[in-house]
Amino acid sequence: MTLRRRKRGGTGRAASGTAEPGGGDRLARRLGTGDAVLIGLGSMVGAGVFAVFGPAARVAGTGLLVGLLVAAVVAYCNAVASAQLAAVYPTSGGTYVYGRERLGPWWGFAAGWGFVVGKTASCAAMALTFASYAVPGPGWARRAFAAAAVVALASLNYRGVTRTALLTRVLVVASLAALAVVVAGIAAGGQAGAARLGGWTAVGAGGAYGVLQAAGLLFFAFAGYARIATMGEEVRDPARTIPRAVPVALFIAVAVYLVVGAAALLAAGPDVLAAAAAPLAAAVEAAGAGALAPVVRAGAALASLGALLALIAGIGRTALAMARHRDLPGWLAAVHPRHRVPHRAEVAVAVAVCALVAAADLRGVIGFSSFGVLVYYAVANVCAFTQPAADRRWPRALNVLGAAGCVVLVAALPRTSVLAGAAMFAAGLGGRWLVLRRRGPGAPGGVHNARYE
């Protein structure tokens, strides 16, 4: 019924107007194509490139490069689905909004819940990665510095999105420069070579399941392109800017990951990477370029800060959209009258991330984050599949491939991640059902009219 009603009302652009509040509650459109690309890059070329190759090598050996390509294909399908939807629904919230508009509030809630919880875990992982490279002291000192970084970046986001974009630009350039120095150092060190790859047997060491599990873990590093779509309410000319920015940011990130991953394997081999807490530092040392270890540490710290900055901004805007529809507490929907940012939502995100930093394990949150985000993109692909021809930019076959890929990668994640993710979704969906039941059928968001909000 929802889709039929929207077809009578137009292509969906009119419907998007209902999702975006009017007047003073709107966020300011200040970001151009270059800003959007850099925010996406800041989210992808972050902690993942410095942390995720170790766990991936542990389950797939040299086959992690195959897993990287699998993750890239799934990420591309998800990226074009998100870009196509964001061009029609240019408001904060990403797939939470698309799910509500195309499929109904329950689908939207599932996507938004997975994004907010999963990406909050990602924030904790990136803050801890920053601290592990920047602070060589004891564990409590690293956690204290990680929490301090969260507070500092949340404060910057609080001051306005243009400041977020400016700092992201600086951090992305610095991170890419550091990675370029690392790759060049490995090439010049004289110790890297194909012999360290272990031959074809190492490619299939983990079997098909190991490659798919590596792809699911590596997907953690690619998911940053969603930040462009979730900030759609702040992008100038979103119908043109978002479909251009999302694929560009993704292709650059894929190229960077392939080059860095191949260089690390040639330098250290899969066994050394699998055993290392800091895989790229281990690769540099194994290649005979140990003098570059400070560059690796500085690059990891800067990249982690860039990803954390963009993540906090994206989660805050999804929480804003969910609060607008009363799927999260309504006080989170406030927009700062001067800085035009969802300040209460961002403060709440910062508090939650600091709590996770105090208790979370760096490696454990990667699979948990991937679970939530893959569900988020599965919903995005289903939403994009339902769009009419007038709103389509890519073939529906990519939506089918993307949704199927998300399901397969979720199933291939480590068992503990799957169990924790399933429990997280059960808690969220069950909690929403209880809240709607308490509100009653006549209240906004109640059980009878929830589908037509």
- Amino acid at residue number 205: A
Question: What integer is the mean pLDDT of 276-297?
Answer: 84
pLDDT at 139: 77
Give me the CATH topology for the region 33-436.
Amino acid/polyamine transporter I (1.20.1740)
HSE of 196 in the Cβ direction (CA atoms, 13 Å)?
19
- This prediction's pTM: 0.77
Region 2-31 average pLDDT: 45
Q: How far apart are CA 50 and CA 113, in angstroms?
A: 27
Q: Which of 151, 155, 169 is nearest to 31 (CA)?
A: 169
Q: Is the pLDDT of residue 309 over 80?
A: no
Minimum mean pLDDT range among 54-63, 164-173, 209-218: 164-173
Per-residue pLDDT at 442 exceeds 60 = no
**Which two tokens mark 364?**
């454990």
Q: How high is the pLDDT of residue 102?
A: 94
Q: Are 117 and 429 in contact (CB under 8 A)?
A: no
Three-state DSSP state, 87? helix
Residue 265, pLDDT > 70, answer yes
Position 283 pLDDT exceeds 70:
yes
426-439 per-position pLDDT tens digit = 999 999 999 888 87
Burial label, 200 (beta-carbon count in 10 A; 0-12, 13-18, 19+): exposed
Average pLDDT over residues 125-141: 81
Higher pLDDT, 173 or 164: 173
Q: What type of residue is 62? A: T
The owner of tokens 């860039």 is 306
